[in-house]
Structure 1
Amino acid sequence: MDHQLLLIVGAALAIMIAASVFSRRTGVATPLLLVGLGIGASYLPGAPAIDLDPELVLAGVLPPLLYSAAVNLPVIDFRRNLRLISWLSIVMVIVSALVIGTVVYWIFPAISFPLAVALGAVVSPTDAVAATAIGRRVGLPPRVMTILEGESLVNDASALVVLRTAVAGLAATSSFSLGRTALEFGWAVIGALVIGGVVGWLTVLLRQRLDDPVLNTTISLVVPFLAYFPAEELHSSGVLAVVVAGLVTGALGSHRFSARDRQTQATTWTTFSFILESGVFLAMGYQVPELIDAAQGETSLGEIALLVLVVLVLLVVLRFGGLAVPALKDRYTDQNEQIRARLDQFEGHLDSMTPADDREDSRIGSARRRLARSRADVEFEEREPITARGFVTMGWAGMRGVVTVAAAQTIPAGASHRATVVLAAFLVALITLVLFGLTLPAVIRRMRFSPVSAKERHDAFRALLRQVGESAVDNLGPLESQTIDGEPIDPKLVAKLKDHILPRVLAGVREAPRFRPAVREQTLILQNRYLDEMRAALVAERSIGAYSSQTYRKVEAVLDDMERRLDLA
C-alpha cells in the first residue's frame, strides 16, 4: 500500500507539472487541464478508488491556500474595494444560497429545504484561481483582479457559515432559521477578525525577532492553522480568521521582515500553493465518475441534469444581477466632486490651525496624512474606475472550484439525496470552469481594456523612487553632520559617498559599490542607514496610496535587491 501511495503521489506531481507546462504553451488555464486529466485518469485500468476526506481539504488544504493569497493581496487595494468585495462575498453569497435553496426545494420537493440551501451555499462562492491565471496572461485590469481575489477570499467564509447552519437544520428536524444564520454569521465575522488579527500580529513580532529565513518560513507554514483551529473551536469562521491573519502578515511583513525572509517565504508559498491547488483540481476530476455512480442509485440522470441546469441558470442570473446593482449605482451617483469639496474644506481648516504644543502638532500631522490618503483614494477612483466592461468581465469570471468541491462533501452522509446534491455541486463547478474558463480570454480581449503604457509605469516607478530617496535625505540630514559611534565621518569618505555611492543608492542602482577595505564598515553602515530611511518613507507613502500597488512592489523589489547586495558586500 505504501508503494502504491508513493506511486500515486509521484504520478500526480508529474501530471501537475506537465499540465502547467502545457498550459503556458497553449494558454488553456491549468485548472481546466487538471480536471480533464483527473477524469481521464479515473477511467484507466486498475485506477484505485481514492476517498478524499472533505474535512482534510477544509482544514488542511483551504487555510494555507487562502493565507498564501491574502499575504500577497495589497491591503490598500483591499480597503479601497471593500464595499464591492463585501457586497459580492457576503450579501450575494447569502442571497444566492437562499434563492437557490428556495427554487430547488420548489422544483424538487424530494430535496429538503435545508439540503437545498446547503447546495446553494456550496455553489455560491467563486474561485479566482482560474480567472486570475487567465487575467494575468491576457491583460485584465489590476483593480478587477483585486476584486476577484478579494471576493474569493471572503466569500468562502460566508458560504461555510450558511452551510453550517443548513447542515444543523438537517439534524434538527429540517428546520432552517434565518435569525440564527444572522447571529452565527455576526459572531463568525467578529471572532475571526479578533483571532486572525492577533495571530497575524503576534507571529509577525516573533518572526521579526528571529530574523532567520528557515525558522520564519517554518513559522509561516503554521500561521494558517494557528488562526483556523482556534476560530473553529470557538464556533467562529476559521477561514476568515486565516484571511485576516494573512492580510495582517502581508501589511506588517513588508517593512518588518528582511528582504531575504520575504524572498524565501514567497518562493516556498508559491511552490506550496501550486501543489495544493493542482492537487485539489486533479482530485476533483478524478472523483466525478464515482459520484455519478453513487447518485444514480437515488436520482435519474434526467433529474440530475435538470437540477444542474437550474442551479447554473440561477447562478448566472444572480451573478450578473448582483453586479448590476453597484454598476448602476456608480453610473448614476458620482460622489468624487462632493468628496473633493469636503476635503478642500477640511484642508482649509487644518491650515488655519496653529498648534499650541507638540502633541497638537502631532495630531495635525496625523490629520494631514489622513487627508492625503483620502485625496489619493479619490484619485484612485478616477484613475482606475470600474467600467461596464469591468463588471461584465467580473460576471463572466464567476467560476467555482476548490471550496465548492470540498464543502459539498461535508454534507452528512445520512441525508436523503445527499449523493445527488454533491454530484450537482461537482458538475456545477466543473461546467463553470470549462464554460467560463475557456471563453473568459475571448471575453477579456473583446472588452479591449486600455493597459497602462510602459512609459507611464516607468515614470511612476522613477517618481516614487526619487520621492523616497529625497525623504531619506531630508530625515537623515547632510552627510557632514552624521556620526558613527559618536565619531564624525572622514571628509574623504563623505566626498566619495556624496559623489559616487550615495547617488547610486538613492537612484536604486543595483550594482554593488566598490571601496577600500579600510572604510568598508563605515560605508556599509551609512548605506544601510539610507536604505532603512528609504524603506520607512516607502511604508509611509504606501499607507497614503498615491501610486499603484505594482509601482510600490517594483520599488520594494529594488530596495530588497540592494539590501541583499549590501549583505553580501
Structure 2
Amino acid sequence: MSDLVLHEGVRQAETIFFLLLLLIIGFGALARRLEIAYPIVLVVAGVLISFIPGLPKFTLNPDIVFLMLLPPLLFHAAWQTSWREFHYNIVSILMLAIGLVIFTVLGVALASLSLFTLFTWRTGIVLGAIVAPTDALAATSIARRVGLSGRATHVLEGESLVNDATGLLALELGLAIVLGGHTPTVAQASMHFVWLTVAGIGTGVAVAWVVRQCEKFLDDGPIEITLSLVTPYVAYFVAEEVGASGVLAVVACGLYFGRHSSEFFSHGVRLQAVAVWKALDFVLNGLAFVLIGLQLPTVLAGLHHYGTGVLFAYASGFSALVIALRLIWVYPGAYLSYVIRRRVFKQQEQLPSLKALFIVGWTGMRGVVSLAAAMSLPELMSDGRQFAARDLIIFLTFSTILVTLVLQGFSLPPLIRLLGFNKKSEPDHEEHEARRLMIAAALAHLTEREKRHSDDPEMTRLLRKMKRRQQSRLILLRAQADVNAKPFSHARFRELSREILRIERSTAIALRNEGKINDILLRRLENELDLSQSRIDAD
C-alpha cells in the first residue's frame, strides 16, 4: 500500500513538473515575441493560471528555493559578472546591498507601526528584511535588453548578488527578536555579520580553489560540466554547516570561476558549459517566477477576515512605501559613495546625474527569495502562541513582488529611453581595441614564424595565406570603427558570411538526405558551421 502511495506521489510530482516546464517554454517564447523580459510574463501567467477552477495548489516550499534554486542561480549570475567591474564599483554596490537594506528594514519597521494594526516594530523588522533584497535577474535582464549604461548595470548586478545575504541576516536577527524575545546588542550583531561574511567568502573561495585543482586532472566535457553543476551546492552547504553565509559562499565561488575558468576549461568544454548553464539558468529562473504567480491562492488562504478593499489598500500602500524607500536612499547613498570613492579610493568618478540615480532607484524588483523567506516564517511563536502577522507578511511580500515586477518592469524600458540612457548604438571602444591588439599579436607571431621558416616553401605559403586572412580581419575592424568611411562594410560582410554558411549547411543536409554522408558526419560538419556562425554573430 505504501509503495502504491509513493508511486502516485511520484507520478503527481512528475506531472506537475512537466506542466511547469510547458508553461516556461510557452510563455518564455511569448515573452521573446513580445520583446518583454520573461520574468514579468511568467509571473503574470502564473497569477492568471492560478484562477483556473479545480487547479491544484502549488505551495512553494522554501527549501526548494534556498537549497535547490538559489545556489545555481547565484553561482551562474556571479560567474557571468565581471570581477574588474565588481571590484571597482564595490563601494556603490555595498551602499545599496548593505546601506539600502538597513534603511529599508528600519523604514518598514517604523512605517508598520502606523500602517498595520497587528504589527509592532519587531514584526516590521522581519517584514523589512524579507522585502529588502532585490532579484538577481529581473532588473538586470530588463536593463541589458534596453541597453542601460554599463556602470549602472554592473552596480545593479553586484547589488543583487550581495543583498540576499544582507537581507537574510537581517531576517535572522528579526526572527530572534520576534520569536525568541532576544534583542542582540550592536556588538553581537556586528560580530555575527563579520563571521557570516568572512567565513562565507572564505568557504566559497576555498571550494572554488579545490575544484580548480581537480580540473587539472580532468579533460572530459560531461564530467567537468557536472562538476561545475555540483560546485555551488557544495559551497552553499559547506558554508551553512560552519555557520557562515551560504549565499556569499556561492557568490564568491562564482566570481572565482568567472575570473579563472578560462585557465582550466578547454575551448570545447567552455562551449558546452555555456550552453548547459544558459539552459539551466532559464529553466530554474522560469520555475521561480511561475511559482511566484501560482502562490496567489495560498497567499490569500489565511486572509478571509480582511475585506478586498483593505487588502488592496495594504498592498498598494506597502508597495509604494518599499519603492519610495529605495528612491529616497539612492540620492544620499550615491553622494556618500562618490565622496568615499574620490577621497579614499582615489577613483576619478563623477557624481551620477539625478536622472541616472532615478533609474537605479526604479530598478528595485523583488523576486522568489523574498517570497521564500516569507513562507519560511514559523506559524507559532517560541511560547506556543500563533504568529498572527504571518499571513499578512506573506501577502504583503507577494504584493510587493507583483507590483515591482509588473509596474517597474513594464515601465523601466520606456523610462530608460525617455531619459536618454539607451546606449546600444554607442560603439564599444574597449572591445574594438582588444580585437585590434589580438589580431596584431597574431600577425606578429605569423611574421616571426615566416622568418624562421624561410627555407620551407610550403610553410611560407601557408603562413602568408594566414597573414592575409588576419590582415583582412584588421581591415574590416578598421572599417567598422571608421563609420564615415564605410558604414556598411562590416554589416555586409556578416550578411554575406551568414549566406555562405546557410548554403554550406543546406548542402551538407542534402548530402545526408541523398545517402552520400551519414548522420554522424553531418553533426560534425554542423558543429563546425555553428562555431563559425557564433564567431560571426559575436563580431
TM over 0.5: yes
Tell me whether 1:319 sits opposite 2:326 in the alignment.
yes
Give the Cα separation in 2 of the matches to 1:434 and 1:173: 37
Tell me what 1:402 maps to.
368
Tell me whether 1:130 sits opposite 2:141 in the alignment.
no
Residue 392 of structure 1 and its aligned partner are, at CA, apart by 1.4
Residue 335 of structure 1 and its aligned partner are, at CA, apart by 4.5
Name the amino acid aligned to 2:103.
Answer: V
Matches within 5 A, 1:548-567: none
Tell me what 1:524 maps to.
none
Conservation of the 8 A alpha-carbon contact between 1:479 and 1:494: no
Tell me what 2:400 maps to.
428
Q: Which whole-Å deviations, capped at 9, do the CAs of 1:186-211 have from their partners, x for residues lacking one?
A: 11110111001111122123224312
Q: Which whole-Å deviations, capped at 9, do the CAs of 1:77-98 have from their partners, x for residues lacking one?
A: 1112111111101121122112
Give the Cα separation in 1 of the matches to 2:359 and 2:81: 20
Give the Cα separation in 1 of the matches to 2:374 and 2:158: 22
Conservation of the 8 A alpha-carbon contact between 2:450 and 2:460: no
Tell me what 2:438 maps to.
468
Report SS of the residue matched to 2:302.
helix
Tell me whether 1:183 sits opposite 2:191 in the alignment.
yes
Tell me what 2:456 maps to.
491
Tell me whether 1:478 sits opposite 2:486 in the alignment.
no
Alignment counterpart, residue 379 of structure 2, candidates 413, 420, 425: 413
Tell me what 1:63 maps to.
71
Name the amino acid aligned to 2:367.
Answer: G
Residue 109 of structure 1 and its aligned partner are, at CA, apart by 5.3
How many residues are paired up?
Answer: 464
Residue 24 of structure 1 and its aligned partner are, at CA, apart by 1.5
How many percent identity over aligned positions? 31
Give the Cα separation in 2 of the matches to 1:189 and 1:328: 25
Cα 1:41–1:83 shift into 2, 3 Å: same
Conservation of the 8 A alpha-carbon contact between 1:134 and 1:441: yes
Residue 181 of structure 1 and its aligned partner are, at CA, apart by 2.7
Tell me what 1:50 maps to.
58
Tell me whether 1:285 sits opposite 2:285 in the alignment.
no
Residue 183 of structure 1 and its aligned partner are, at CA, apart by 2.1
Cα 1:480–1:331 shift into 2, 3 Å: closer
Conservation of the 8 A alpha-carbon contact between 1:189 and 1:237: yes
Matches within 5 A, 1:161-240: 161-173=169-181, 175=183, 177-240=185-248
Matches within 5 A, 1:139-154: 139-154=147-162
Name the amino acid aligned to 1:409.
Answer: M
Residue 497 of structure 1 and its aligned partner are, at CA, apart by 4.6
Give the Cα separation in 2 of the matches to 1:430 and 1:70: 25
Tell me what 1:274 maps to.
282
Give the Cα separation in 2 of the matches to 1:306 and 1:291: 16
Q: Which whole-Å deviations, capped at 9, do the CAs of 1:11-47 have from their partners, x for residues lacking one?
A: 2111111111111222333222212221222222321
Cα 1:28–1:466 shift into 2, 3 Å: closer
The answer for unaligned runs of 5 or more in structure 2 is 1-7, 381-386, 475-529
Conservation of the 8 A alpha-carbon contact between 1:162 and 1:181: no
Tell me whether 1:500 sits opposite 2:465 in the alignment.
yes
Q: TM-score, normalised by structure 2?
A: 0.78
Name the amino acid aligned to 1:280.
Answer: A
Tell me what 2:22 maps to.
14
Q: Which whole-Å deviations, capped at 9, do the CAs of 1:471-495 have from their partners, x for residues lacking one?
A: 567789932686xxxxx89633552
Report SS of the residue matched to 1:209.
coil
Conservation of the 8 A alpha-carbon contact between 2:236 and 2:247: yes
Report SS of the residue matched to 1:210.
coil
Cα 1:477–1:193 shift into 2, 3 Å: farther
Give the Cα separation in 2 of the matches to 1:205 and 1:244: 17
Give the Cα separation in 2 of the matches to 1:93 and 1:422: 19
Matches within 5 A, 1:69-108: 69-108=77-116
Tell me what 1:536 maps to.
none
Conservation of the 8 A alpha-carbon contact between 1:466 and 1:507: no
Residue 502 of structure 1 and its aligned partner are, at CA, apart by 4.7
Conservation of the 8 A alpha-carbon contact between 1:112 and 1:174: no
Cα 1:209–1:103 shift into 2, 3 Å: same
Conservation of the 8 A alpha-carbon contact between 2:204 and 2:251: yes
Name the amino acid aligned to 1:79.
Answer: H
Residue 107 of structure 1 and its aligned partner are, at CA, apart by 4.2
Cα RMSD of the aligned pairs, angstroms, is 3.0
Q: TM-score, normalised by structure 1?
A: 0.74
Alignment counterpart, residue 251 of structure 1, candidates 259, 264, 283: 259
Cα 1:469–1:256 shift into 2, 3 Å: farther
Name the amino acid aligned to 1:245.
Answer: C
Following superposition, which runs of at least 4 residues in structure 1 exceed 6 angstroms of deviation? 330-334, 472-477, 506-509
Tell me whether 1:32 sits opposite 2:40 in the alignment.
yes
Residue 260 of structure 1 and its aligned partner are, at CA, apart by 1.4
Cα 1:205–1:438 shift into 2, 3 Å: same
Matches within 5 A, 1:438-477: 438-449=410-421, 451=423, 453=425, 456-457=427-428, 460-471=430-441
Residue 136 of structure 1 and its aligned partner are, at CA, apart by 2.4
Cα 1:326–1:491 shift into 2, 3 Å: farther
Cα 1:505–1:212 shift into 2, 3 Å: farther
